[in-house]
């Protein structure tokens, strides 16, 4: 009788562990997660590298008026964005263009001059996350960018 009791407890424990393990693996019906971006390079093909130092992630909501643009600028840190609404056209100095619609995600170019422009009659709304270090300037306008590129040895791609 004692063996049956111990065996029953062991079977019950195995069933509980299996049930808990299965529920931990199964997705929650109320939550849906879809990978929209998983990259090791920015959209121009440059390998992404995180800066060294004390990490600081900055998230920004950006709105560009219809027909408006960001002006030529660069980022010295990896940044990742998602277009919430509107049509965004990003152009590099070498003429390459990437057009994004609502829901599109991208890894922005790093140390490369680019200009973002709202195409069409609607404003562009996007959210961008910058992976920098504490106190680091995230965006440099073209005039400053030329000096930054000369001191870092980077060039527009």
DSSP letters for 100-124: E-TT-EEEPPSS--EEEEEESSS-E
State the fold for domain 55-152: Jelly Rolls (2.60.120)
Q: ∠ at Cα 102 (100, 39), nearest 5°?
A: 60
Mean pLDDT to the nearest integer, 52-77: 97
How many residues does this entry show for the chain? 157
pLDDT in tens, 86-143: 999 999 999 999 999 999 999 999 999 999 999 999 999 999 999 999 999 999 998 7
Q: Centre a 10 Å sphere on the Cβ of residue 145 and count the other Cβ atoms it contains.
A: 22
Domain ranges of the chain: 55-152
The pLDDT value recorded for residue 74 is: 96
Q: ∠ at Cα 82 (81, 85), nearest 5°?
A: 135
pLDDT in tens, 5-48: 454 444 444 444 444 544 455 678 899 999 999 999 999 999 99
Mean pLDDT to the nearest integer, 53-77: 97
């Amino acid at each position: 009788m004692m063996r049956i009791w111990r065996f029953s407890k062991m079977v019950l424990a195995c069933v509980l562990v299996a049930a808990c393990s299965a529920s931990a693996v199964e997705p929650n019906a109320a939550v849906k997660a879809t990978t929209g971006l998983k990259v090791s390079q920015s959209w121009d093909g440059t390998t992404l590298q995180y800066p060294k130092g004390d990490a600081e992630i900055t998230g920004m909501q950006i709105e560009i008026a219809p027909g408006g643009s960001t002006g030529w600028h660069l980022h010295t840190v990896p940044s990742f964005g998602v277009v919430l609404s509107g049509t965004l056209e990003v152009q590099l100095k070498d003429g390459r263009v990437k057009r994004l619609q609502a829901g599109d995600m991208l890894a922005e170019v790093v140390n490369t001059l680019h200009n973002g422009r709202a195409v069409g009659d609607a404003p562009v709304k996007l959210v961008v996350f910058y992976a920098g270090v504490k106190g680091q300037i995230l965006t440099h306008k073209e005039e400053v960018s030329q000096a930054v590129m000369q001191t870092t040895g980077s060039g527009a791609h």
